[in-house]
Amino acid sequence: MQGSTGIVALCTPSLDSLAVAPRGSDSVELALANADLLLELIGDARVVAIGEGAHNVQEFTGFADGLFRLLAERRGFTGFVKESGFAEGLSVDDWLHDADGVGDAGVEAIARAGISYGFGESEQVRAQLSWLRDRVRAGAKLQFIGADLPGSSTSPEAAVRQCLQRIPAAPDDAALLRASELGDRTEAAIAYAEMSPAEQGGWAAAMRGLALRAIDNGDAVAAHCGASILALLAELQEEPAPDAPYAREVFLADSVMWALERHERVLVSAHNSHLRKDGFASRPSLISLVTDRIRARGAPADSVCVLGMTYGSGPEVRFQQLSSRPFDCEVTLQERRLLRGSFEERIEHLLGNDGAPALVLPALLPPETLAGVEGTQASGGVDRVDDFSASFDALIHLRHVVRVPGAFERMRAEFATGRETSSRYRIEQGAEL
């Protein structure tokens, strides 16, 4: 690996041909322009994890797209696993493969409906899905796999619908479906919070019963959707022991293992915090759980390669919780301010005025390079990292990034709507069960 100092300037592509392309296409080309360097770093890994220092950043999504294109073409990767609902993602993969009922849908509609957390509003995501579909139509055996809980981690509805389509019918199924329809992300979280303890218990018991039916009687897809419902209920109802993983993190790991049962090699795209090899905030992470499971099966340590992504300047979203009500937040958009003791502040200082992005290899850095660095920046603060080489195989640092247009405005509008949500969901759902 080149770069004895542990910091390698990335080769930036010519952007002349991208003048009319959407922002983020340059980071697709950045990945492709550094193909040999990235392939040398990745080696024979079965799982390559590409992180995001923040969601809804065009360049991060674009780089993940470019990296998967590279790995699909030159290393035989066939599974793209995204931090998005597993149940929702089934329709995306059906669309890629021209399945009946969704094959004629436009990419905008399928991305919006099939990719959770609002990530499908991104032009970069839509460009990636279009590329995947073109490659599938050309004969490539590629698959899109959502790894996450249903309903942006607040509502079981998408998973309930998938289960009911795949398992033998029962008399109360229509009522179960209605009970699962808590609304969109913020509405669903508020609806559940407004239920009384008795209502929450009855609702959860009904959802759990369906999930167990799917696990016991359904096909593999129905069973994994059922598992996603159980994990969502655990997130809503249980606080794990201090060093234990969250149920969501376990399900994310289960989804990656689900993908590895069907694909020899997969790329996983998620926030940096999910992908750290040593866990996050004293708890196991998605990738630390996957790494442990792969090693338990006798695979070498380098079967998993983790690439985090950070940035120096650009917009940054910050949240201030106003009350205990779910999603009652003041959301502000500010220009990133580099914090003393952050990885980003240190790397920007070392890179100076050279505008090129850089690949940072923590294991090759002289000890003094990151002396005093406490972690990586996130949402206006710092996520602590005690040992960068234990967390990441490499970090790709971009000098400047741009947010997905409208993402901030949609988030503010969603949270504001939540403040106006009535308790009608609690009343309606309580009557059903």
Q: Is the pLDDT of residue 1 over 60?
A: no
- DSSP H or E stretch at residue 269: strand 266-271
Instruction: State how far the Cα of 127 lies from the Cα of 65, in Å rounded to an integer.
Output: 9
pTM of the model: 0.93
What average pLDDT does range 392-407 have in this prediction? 96
By C-alpha distance, which of 107, 35, 44 is closest to 68?
35
Identify the three-state secondary structure at position 297. Answer: coil
Query: Which tens digit of pLDDT belongs to each residue from 176-216?
Result: 999 999 999 999 999 999 999 999 999 999 999 999 999 99
- Start-to-end CA span in the chain (Å): 61
Would you state the pLDDT for residue 425? Answer: 39
Average pLDDT, the chain: 92
Q: Is the pLDDT of residue 419 over 90?
A: no
Would you state the pLDDT for residue 23? Answer: 65
Burial class (CB within 10 angstroms; exposed 0-12, middle 13-18, buried 19+) of 314: middle
Instruction: State how far the Cα of 385 lies from the Cα of 374, in Å rounded to an integer.
Output: 6
Q: Given pLDDT bands bounded at 50, 70 and 90, which one contains residue 22?
A: low
Q: Is the pLDDT of residue 421 over 60?
A: no
What average pLDDT does range 260-275 have in this prediction? 98
Q: Is the pLDDT of residue 368 over 70?
A: yes
Query: Which tens digit of pLDDT belongs to each residue from 23-62?
Result: 667 999 999 999 999 999 999 999 999 999 999 999 999 9
Q: Give 369's DSSP letter.
A: G
Q: Given pLDDT bands bounded at 50, 70 and 90, which one contains residue 21?
A: low
Q: Given pLDDT bands bounded at 50, 70 and 90, which one contains residue 418?
A: confident
Instruction: State how far the Cα of 111 lies from the Cα of 327, in Å rounded to an integer.
Output: 24
